[in-house]
Amino acid sequence: MTLKKKERRVPVGARTNVQEFPRLTFDHALDLVMSAKRSEGVRDRTLIDYEKHYGYFLKWLNNAYPDVEFIGDITTGMIRDHINFMRYDAIRYEGHAYIPTEKQRVGLSDTTVNIRIRTLKAIFNQLQKDELIEGSPLNNIKTLKQDIDLTNCLTDDEVKAILAQPNQRDYVGYRDYVAIMWMLDAGLRISELLSLRISDIDFQTRFVTLPGDRSKNRRPRLIPFSPQVAKLTLNVIEENRQHFTTERIFMSSFGEPLGANQFNKRLKYYGQKAGITAAKMTAHVYRHTWAKNMILNGCDPFTLQKMGGWADIRTMRRYIQMDTSEMRNSHDLYSPANKFVKKRI
């Protein structure tokens, strides 16, 4: 016996038409999203990333699903297929001008995959919010679970070895040395470091005033720095004044702005010269190193959070992962059991 499904009665005069959504091409959809994000004040760097990661997705889609023409035809299954492709089949650094084919591994890192998932989520969520698609195919897609990396900090010996590498008699070498000291002393992000201007720095109070338009979370903040870094910075400023008419502190030897990629290459170069292979040599590693050592030296977490510019203390916690030796020392010093055990003389 077949049961009859209960049908919903429609009131007389009620609208029975279903909302129709425009048939947007992929390029048109991106243009609308970019326009919406610009009106919301999203940074240019973020918009560039949107275009880049969306382009990677479209390149794969054209090969995997050549018959799909409109953004509304993208399904959750296609997104999962794309994620599997990135994890297991995509060629890392494919087409890179300076990385040979034999060093281009198969499969993107989990971090890269998650960055691209978040970008696609932002794009499709905007389309859904503006009622340009019925629903985002990424609503049920989660980012990959990642293990916490405990090797993303430099040891004291590694820092000493790196600081010995820049040729401080050379303008570029001295500039790099001072920039590294700033990261170790104040924990600046690379964009914040390279955008520093003389007017941002108060050498009497030893505070940097970072405006909101140059902070990652758009919140202005005060950042203290040490007398040693103040002296080094004054030397760089004096050197700059002899050759350039600019308030920028860190620049190329020709007076041009110093880019993040260019500076990270310098850090990698010094790391290789120092024989360091365990840690990734980027400015972000120096920020991890600063945060971890601030805690080890006695800084309280809330002060560190304020100096580092983290909106959420949970984000800050990822920067201060301790290794086993540090946990052992802390346990031996602070274990409550110590006061209940009689020490032998």
Task: Give per-residue pLDDT as tens, 45-102.
Answer: 889 999 999 999 999 999 999 999 999 999 999 999 999 999 999 988 776 666 666 6
For 170-214, the pLDDT digits (tens) are: 999 999 999 999 999 999 999 999 999 999 999 999 999 988 777
Average pLDDT over residues 6-17: 51
For domain 156-328, the CATH architecture is Orthogonal Bundle (1.10)
Mean pLDDT of all residues in 92-113: 77
Instruction: Tell me the pLDDT of the chain averaged across its residues.
Output: 85
26-129 and 156-328 have identical folds: no
Say what the pLDDT of residue 101 is. Answer: 67
pLDDT digits (tens, 9 = 90+) for 234-282: 999 999 999 998 899 999 989 998 999 999 999 999 999 999 876 678 8
CATH of 26-129, one of 3.10.620, 1.10.150, 1.10.10, 2.40.50: 1.10.150
> Which of 259, 271, 255, 251 shows the shortest CA–CA distance to 190?
259
Q: Where are the domains of the chain?
A: 26-129, 156-328
pTM to 2 decimal places: 0.69
